[in-house]
Structure 1
């Protein structure tokens, strides 16, 4: 479909044309630009890294520098059709609060994250005794931005405990989709579409 990263391609495929979106942790704006150009969405973004903000703005995108942990509170309730948090949840200081804010400001939210229960991660810990370095987790423990590692089953339990509705979920190993059965062991990444 596109040259987008696999989790972003799934999100892009399922965003309704002409929707209002907020991409939280939008990086250089790759997803936003694709959605603007192909789905004609009203795209806004928030990004912590100033270099990424500059790159996104250079693409003609409306992106502000900000922190998901503190700045989402400034957005009005139901301001967006979709709030998107791709590969960012595990880097936030208060992921539970960030998810609450996503579901407040967006009618629906896409959340993608690396699965720390993936079998290769487990293998690395069990047999090597060290934190894994994989294509999905490409840096050593001391250089990672990940501060709240989670698994697919952790996320499923989190949304169930809070009465959050999961509209859809996709599980990926590399760029291949994996079934929901056994995803906690077999999937490197997950993408969830959730709503209040």
Structure 2
């Protein structure tokens, strides 16, 4: 299998990798097929570990040479010691767990830093869809119907930042992208309204 390149990464993962230090240790929650961890291992000498529950994605991780453990994120991270990881990553999964507030606490108990991405429910099309149709929106970012969606705790960027403030979590970096995971000038001007996916880099360190 050919080496992973920056160009081969999904654009949001390319942003995330830039926030991760070389020679560090990373835990990727809901790691999918292990694409990010493989890239970090090959290009930044990162020691990576993934947690995943989907059997097919676990098989893909193994094929990608990624260390992966089958584990439900709703069970927490009790098998990891305090401050045992440099960075804990969770992309597009926090809205799908039973207690995102508790898992966020766990991420920053285990890791010195955390990186979280989620769909921004304050996106203008979502607001308009609710206002005009009175129904839960469906889009490329939110492709499921209300009755079969894995997203049980959707939130806006303001909701998430208020949660961080209540838990004394400091935001190191924040980037907001469109449904293709791309940045552009309009999103930088009005991130809470025009951004579809929010990417946060967090810590509890002073």
User: Fold match, TM over 0.5?
Assistant: yes
Contact in 1 for aligned 2:31/2:51 (Cα 8 Å): yes
Out of 64, 80, 96, the residue aligned to residue 91 of structure 1 is 96
Aligned partner of residue 7 in structure 1, secondary structure:
helix
Deviations 1:37-75 (A, max 9, x none): 111100001012121111111211100010112141110
1:131 corresponding residue in structure 2:
136
Measured in 1, the distance between the counterparts of 2:142 and 2:13 equals 17
Whole-angstrom distance in 1 between the partners of 2:58 and 2:108 = 24
Residues 7, 190 of structure 1: 8 Å contact kept: no
Among 174, 181, 193, which residue is 2:201 paired with? 193
> Partners in 1 of 2:14 and 2:140 — Cα distance?
18
In the TM superposition, what whole-angstrom CA distance separates every residue of 1:65-118 from its partner, at most 9, and x where no partner exists?
101121411101111110001111000001111000000111000011000110
**Paired residue for 2:183, among 176, 183, 186?**
176
Counterpart of 1:34 (choices 39, 42, 52) is 39
| TM-score scaled by length of structure 1 | 0.95
- Aligned-partner SS, 1:46: strand
> Root-mean-square deviation (CA), in Å?
1.3
Q: Where does structure 2 lack aligned partners over 5 or more consecutive residues?
A: 1-5
Q: Distance in 2 between matches of 1:152 and 1:13?
A: 22
- Local SS of the residue matching 2:49: strand
Task: Give 4+ residue runs of structure 1 displaced > 4 Å after superposition.
Answer: none
CA contact (8 A) 1:82 1:106 kept: yes
Structure 1 stretches lacking a partner, 5+ long: none
1:117 matched residue in structure 2: 122
- C-alpha distance in 2, partners of 1:4/1:132? 28
Paired position in structure 1 for 2:170 = 165
